[in-house]
Structure 1
Amino acid sequence: MFVVLDDRPLVAGGCVACFEREGIAAIAVEPAEFQEWFELVSDADIAVVEGFLLGTVETRRQISARIRSRSRAPLIGLIEAKALTETLDLFSLGFDDVLAKPFHVREILARSGAIRRRTKLTEQCVDISGIRIFFDGRDPLVNGDVLPLPRRERRILECLVLSRNTRITKTQIFNRVYGIFNDEIHENVIESHISRLRKRLKERLGIDPIDSQRFLGYRLKDVAAEGAPQRSTEEAPTSLAQGPDASLAVSIIRDEENGDGPLRSNDYQRLGDVCPV
């Protein structure tokens, strides 16, 4: 998610609209209200911000200093036209880069990605489980071939890669993809996106590379390190399908095959401690 600050609401709103057309979450914050807003935002939400864009702002010095006190996200200045004096002034205030109009959202993504690589906050690309993921807006490569993905699913895949050493919750993914103050969309939409993403990856890889655990979140499995999972014909589903809970077991297996859809509440209560979900 990107944060845009500009004294001109129309300019800030237009910049946010450009990001949204590319499937990137962005919000516009009034510079006069930034100090109060920044104090109220938690550290976890600040960590979601991928970059701060400052346009025409009278209090650039104060705002840039406040941002640097809590975040190492790229700080990019937006200017109306190339001007050496203004560019040098912004760099002296601690800005990481300066862009003159006209510019494209993809250029901002590429520049912010380069800044993060220089500061060792991210990598240019990552190879895991036969998937090569980029962080500049390009579609991933699966087994060497391009896999075209909708923008939201591509962003979710990037989130899973960035958090590949730990699990990431549905809420954390939602905040990165849709923004931390988006009240118009329910975070359950993430489950639908991940279900479709799993299906696309499974068609190319032959296995499901996304591991999910209820209440813990999602993780992208490193198949090369863990070994491709193989189901034995003598596993629990065969034995569960025999006996009084046969109908329940069938419904559980069907839900599992359909992706990461949540179990119905009555099924979960009946399972108890027998089958951890």
Structure 2
Amino acid sequence: MYIVIDDRSLVTEGYRSLFSGEGVPAIGFTPTKFEEWVEDTPTEDLRSVEAFLIGDCEERSRYPMLIRRRSQAPVIVMNEVVSLERTLELFAAGVDDVVRKPVHVREILARVNAMQRRSEKRRASDEEVSHAGVHVYFNGRDPEVGGEVLPLPRRERRILEFMMRHRGKWVTKTQVFNAVYGLFDAEVDEAVVESHISKLRKKLRAKLEYDPIESRRYLGYTIA
């Protein structure tokens, strides 16, 4: 999930819609609401945040420190005016990247994926991940399973990408739900995750002749 902070609801709603079009949940906050949210949200929920995007708002230089107290997700500032001095100030404040608006959400996704690859100590040139016979991309392409492209519905592809990014670790149903639907989708029940994963496992099993996804009560799911 992506968090967008901006004084203007038109901007936050616009980016929420654009991310949704890429199959990625996002939520927008005004600066005041964001400060309340980031302080009060449980740590488990904050782990579902993939990046924070800071747009036009006052005192945004103090937000990286505010975020870092609760999350290690990348912090990206979106600038409308080019200013070397301002850009240097933002980097000094602890942001991970500064981009010039307008910026396409696919570019933001690519930048965040690159940061995550570096944080996981994988080669910065890697554009995808292979594991257990599954090859996934993080740019919207369908995965390759058993050497063949496997077309997947958007939600199932998103789940597979999330699990591959956390391969070797157990992820709970709540973590998967938040990564796919976001923290604020009250219209969808968490139980839908079980249905998505069940369908995904059948498709993977048909291609690989074994199930790469393990599930355990109380622990959740993993791709070992």
TM-score, normalization: structure 2? 0.89
* Structure having the higher Rg: 1
- 1:234 corresponds to: none
Q: SS in structure 2 opposite 1:70?
A: coil
User: SS of 2:47's equivalent?
Assistant: helix
Is 1:142 paired with 2:149?
A: no
RMSD of aligned residue pairs (Cα, Å): 2.0
Alpha-carbon displacement from aligned partner over 1:9-66 (angstroms, at most 9, x marks no partner): 1111101110011110111122012222111111111221110000001020222220
**How far apart in 2 are the matches of 1:122 and 1:5?**
30
Once the two structures are TM-superposed, the CA of residue 122 in structure 1 deviates from its matched residue by 6.8
Structure 1: how far apart are the matches of 2:113 and 2:9?
27
Q: Is 1:118 matched with 2:123?
A: no
Q: How many residues align?
A: 221
8 Å Cα contact 1:168-1:216 kept in structure 2: yes
d(CA) in 2 for partners of 1:202, 1:14: 39
Deviation digits for residues 136-186 of structure 1 (CA, Å, limit 9, x no counterpart): 433222122222222211111122223332322211210111112221211
1:87 is matched with which residue? 87
Structure 1: tracts of 5 or more residues without a match? 222-277
Tell me: CA distance 1:126–1:216, structure 2 relative to 1, closer, same or farther (3 Å): same
Task: Give the counterpart letter for 1:88 in structure 2.
Answer: L
Distance in 1 (CA, whole Å) between partners of 2:47 and 2:162 is 13
Change (3 A) 1:112 1:188: same
Instruction: Give the aligned partner of residue 59 of structure 2.
Output: 59
1:216 corresponds to 2:219? yes
Separation of aligned partners in 2, 1:150 and 1:89: 42
Q: Structure 2: how far apart are the matches of 1:68 and 1:217?
A: 27
Letter matched to residue 103 of structure 1: V
Q: Indicate the residue corresponding to 2:202 in structure 1.
A: 199
- Which of residues 133, 149, 152 is equivalent to 2:155? 152
Taking the TM superposition and a 5 Å limit, the aligned residue runs for 1:167-182 are: 167-182=170-185
Q: Name the counterpart of 2:186.
A: 183
What is aligned with 1:245? none
C-alpha distance in 2, partners of 1:114/1:166? 20
Paired residue secondary structure (1:65):
helix
Letter in 1 for 2:45: D
Relative distance call for 1:213 and 1:116 in structure 2 (3 A) is closer
- Give TM-score scaled by structure 1 length: 0.73
Aligned to 1:46: 46
Identity of aligned residues (%): 50
Greater relative contact order (Cα < 8 A, sep 6+)? 2
